[in-house]
Amino acid sequence: MSETVLLVGGGGREHAIARALAPDCDLYACASNRNPGIAALAEDFETISETAAEDIVAYAESVGATLAVVGPESGLAAGVSDALDDAGVYTFGPQAAEARIETDKAFQRQFMRDEEIPGNPDFATFDDMEAACDYIDDYDGDLAVKPAGLTGGKGVKVIGDQVTPEEAKAYLRDSDYERVVLEERLVGEEFTIQAFVANGEFRVSPAVQDHKRAYEGDEGPNTGGMGSYTDVTPSLPFMADGDYEAAVEVIEAVVEALPDYKGILYGQFMLTTEGPKVIEFNARFGDPEAMNTLPVLETPFIDVLTAAREGESLPELDFAEAATVCKYAVPEGYPTDPEAGAEITVEVDEDAGALLFYASVDDREDGLYTTTSRSFAVVGVADSIAEAEELAEDALADAGEGFHIRHDIGTAALVQRRIDHMAELRGE
């Protein structure tokens, strides 16, 4: 009997999930924005807010959903997984209590301290912004300033990189944050590992390096992610032997400490001279990282979901030995002053190894147009990072006017900078 799966969410991450699921199930989807890529794969697409738990449950019941996947963190924080589980629809996504590992950064750090999870940096939590400013004055070193709640990847300010201590204090005083976490600044290279978790087990995917900064050369403000890449092996070129395994050990410790966790556990790490340190955990696939890992997942994703629901051992995951490079096209001016309304006419040659994922688009009768959020991503899949980058770049050549793209993601020069940076830090 075919499974009927409800997918909640309408971004590039969810388009990748839909693509992984659609061949093996009857797929239905709902989101606040209509994603044409998901709509083309689904039996039906309903416009429902990702946080409207009751409406989502009603839709799930109306289509006879036997499984569900909640893509965005907003839905997890709103208890959508809880509501679907209570309605008898097994949902691959943590309930709100476990999702706090992402949605409450103060909880995340205290959890790591209490459970002795490795890789936890120095931190302090404040609900008094003047006390936080005093901490900045007294701290011997640079700090990362993080709002405790969700900010879409754009709320963090790093002293010594993005802001001065005085600018950090002004940021705190001008904010309306209820709580903030101040953490020691971690220096090194960032990477992500996404784990599939259920029934006390986990399976990991290849490491990904995301690029948060808006402009080439890692300049400009933080964004939701401008693109990312993977290598043909689980590791990345700047990682030494044992670095990937050390990060997996951190994920293992979290899974052991959260026995009821189900869904994706996303570990974002900083590779330092002392090994991987935890920048943060997310309770869902990354966006764009899902677009790197799911296209090369050869194990049917539906098999993971059914095993999780049945309480069975999760299948071992097979990934193609291929590199991927993902590049986002975003509206001009993104993220600070985005300009909507540019027409999207990009086409890709999937037979050549290029994939197109839609994110936030305005689906009009006369075509697709940009909104003020990330518009679409192109992923190249090939036998090397260089070849995958060339495929992605070729596909974006006809993107047209009104878009900004970080063309340096996945290039040999940028990858070599990462390698050189880690070699310098290690004193090699």
pLDDT in tens, 274-311: 999 999 999 999 999 999 999 999 999 999 999 999 99
What pLDDT, on the 0 to 100 scale, is given for residue 155? 80
Pairwise pLDDT comparison (21 vs 154), residue with the higher score: 21
Pairwise pLDDT comparison (398 vs 8), residue with the higher score: 8
| Torsion angle of C-alpha atoms 330, 400, 357, 47, degrees rounded to 10 | 70
For residues 88-93, average pLDDT: 98
Q: How confident is the model at residue 176 (pLDDT cuts 50, 70, 90)?
A: confident
In this structure, how many other beta carbons lie within 10 angstroms of the beta carbon of residue 82?
Answer: 18
What pLDDT, on the 0 to 100 scale, is given for residue 16? 98
pLDDT in tens, 178-203: 999 999 999 999 999 999 999 999 99
3-state DSSP assignment of residue 247: helix
For residues 22-37, average pLDDT: 97
Residue 153 has pLDDT above 70, yes or no: no
What pLDDT, on the 0 to 100 scale, is given for residue 400? 84
For residues 371-379, average pLDDT: 97
In this structure, how many other beta carbons lie within 10 angstroms of the beta carbon of residue 167?
Answer: 13
- Delineate the domains of the chain, giving CATH numbers in brackets: 1-96 (3.40.50.20), 121-182 (3.30.1490.20), 187-415 (3.30.470.20)
For residues 314-328, average pLDDT: 98
144 and 136 in contact (C-beta within 8 Å)?
no
Q: What is the mean pLDDT of the chain?
A: 96
Residue 405 has pLDDT above 70, yes or no: yes
- Would strands 90-92 and 67-70 be described as parallel, antiparallel, or unpaired? parallel
105 and 181 in contact (C-beta within 8 Å)?
yes
What pLDDT, on the 0 to 100 scale, is given for residue 1? 66
Buried b (16+ CB within 10 A) or exposed e, 98-135: bbbbbbbbbbbbebbeeeebbbbbebbbbeebeebbee
Residue 152 has pLDDT above 70, yes or no: no
Pairwise pLDDT comparison (60 vs 148), residue with the higher score: 60
